[in-house]
Every structure is written in structure tokens, then in C-alpha cells.
């Protein structure tokens, strides 16, 4: 398949680590398409006629991982559309895979990732950022209770994915506590080291 030939970089990190912010920087300077799994799920949640709207809403509010079939299908559709309509076959897949079953299944049935860009940040800093964003974001999960649940899911369910790729030598780790510009300097260095 066309998407099987694509270049895929997974972008992971805790809630509020700055994945979306740095992906915006990257697409400005490199020929990548940014696909945020969370954004795709929120779009699907709001789509009239979706069978998954209520399910997605509940999972996101509780910081749980939506069953992988839904998310993988949304990503695969978006990748196919991008290849067809924009002629781009390089992807930043942001906020996915955040559970082991997703990682295995995506690399088996869609495309193997080149590497994972992992943003490392403390919970204290992430919480501050999310509560601040929550004042204006309208996101149903930018509140203290959902944030606590998102942190727990990240530690228990998503970190094992990072550890798995790390054992395979496929993680570029970036310290994400500094300013967005400082963090981005490290992203660019990491890309250069990986031949991007």
C-alpha cells in the first residue's frame, strides 16, 4: 500500500509536554504532514453520523485510550488522503501509539515507524501548562480531574510503548521543560542526527 512506503515519525510525551507545539514548528521547516491522533478523534466525535461519538467523548474525558481499531482507521484514512491529495508521504503522528497493542498493530498493518520523538517533561510543568490552556481551549479534558487521569494513563499505559521503542534504538529523547524555541533547537539536532 502507499502508506506502507511512507516515512513515519511517532511523536510522544505526556499530556501537555508540547507535542502539538513542536509539530507545528516541524511542519513549517520540513516537508511533513502533522496528524494528531487526539485531533482526529475529536473531529470524529463531532462528526454527524459517527458511530463512535459517545464512546470517544467518554474515553477522552476519562483520559482512557480509545480502542485501537477506531484510531488506527482514522489515521490510515488521513494518511491515504494526504498521499492522494497533497502528494506528501512523510508523517508526524502525534500522540500515538499510546498503548502497546496500537504500536504493534500499526507497525504491522500500516507502516513501520522510522523513530519516535519523545518529549520528556515533569508533571508539575505539564499540569501548569494544561490548566493554563484550559482557561481558553474548550477541551473537555483540560481540568484537574481529567488531567490526573491522563497522567496516570500516560505512566501506566503509554510509557511502556516508549520503553519498547527505546530498547529497539528508535527513540530520540528531547527535554521539553524549556521554552518552545529552546526545545525546538533540540528537535532540529535530533532530526539531523537521524538523517532527516
Using CB under 6 A, list all residues that contact ligand UP5.
13, 15-21, 36-38, 41, 59-60, 63-66, 71, 95-96, 98, 129, 133, 141, 150, 179-180, 183
Grid look-up 496528524 returns 35
Residues 26 and 112: their CA atoms lie apart, in Å, by: 20
Shortest Å distance, C-beta 24 to ligand UP5: 8
Shortest Å distance, C-beta 45 to ligand UP5: 10
Contact 125, 180 (CB under 8 A): no
Nearer to Mg ion, 38 or 52 (CB): 38
Selection from 18, 36, 113 nearest residue 74 by Cα: 36
Shortest Å distance, C-beta 113 to Mg ion: 18
Shortest Å distance, C-beta 94 to Mg ion: 6
C-alpha cell at 151: 497522567
Contact 30, 119 (CB under 8 A): no
Nearer to ligand UP5, 77 or 87 (CB): 77
User: What is the total count of residues that contact Mg ion (CB under 5 A)?
Assistant: 2
Contact status: 190 vs Mg ion (CB under 5 A): no
What residues numbered 4-33 form the site for Mg ion, per CB under 5 A? 19-20
Q: Which residues contact 87 (CB under 8 A, 6 or more apart)?
A: none
Selection from 82, 114, 120, 162 nearest residue 9 by Cα: 114
Tell me which residues touch Mg ion (CB under 5 A).
19-20
Amino acid at each position: 500500500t502507499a502508506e506502507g512506503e511512507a516515512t513515519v515519525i511517532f511523536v510522544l510525551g505526556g499530556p501537555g509536554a508540547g507535542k502539538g507545539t513542536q509539530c507545528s514548528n516541524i511542519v513549517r521547516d520540513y516537508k511533513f504532514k502533522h496528524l494528531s491522533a487526539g485531533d482526529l478523534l475529536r473531529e470524529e466525535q463531532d462528526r454527524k453520523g459517527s458511530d463512535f461519538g459517545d464512546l470517544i467523548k467518554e474515553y477522552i474525558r476519562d483520559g482512557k485510550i480509545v480502542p485501537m481499531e477506531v484510531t488506527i482507521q482514522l489515521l490510515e484514512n488521513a494518511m491515504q488522503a494526504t498521499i492522494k491529495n497533497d502528494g506528501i508521504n512523510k508523517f508526524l503522528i502525534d500522540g500515538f501509539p499510546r498503548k502497546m497493542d496500537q504500536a504493534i498493530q500499526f507497525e504491522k498493518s500500516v507502516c513501520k515507524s522510522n523513530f519516535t520523538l519523545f518529549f520528556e517533561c515533569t508533571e508539575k510543568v505539564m499540569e501548569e501548562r494544561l490548566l493554563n490552556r484550559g482557561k481558553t481551549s474548550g477541551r473537555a479534558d483540560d481540568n484537574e480531574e481529567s488531567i490526573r487521569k491522563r497522567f496516570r494513563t500516560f505512566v501506566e499505559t503509554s510509557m511502556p510503548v516508549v520503553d519498547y521503542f527505546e530498547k529497539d534504538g528508535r527513540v530520540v529523547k528531547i527535554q521539553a521543560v524549556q521554552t518552545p524555541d529552546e526545545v525546538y533547537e533540540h528537535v532540529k539536532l535530533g532530526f539531523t542526527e537521524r538523517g532527516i
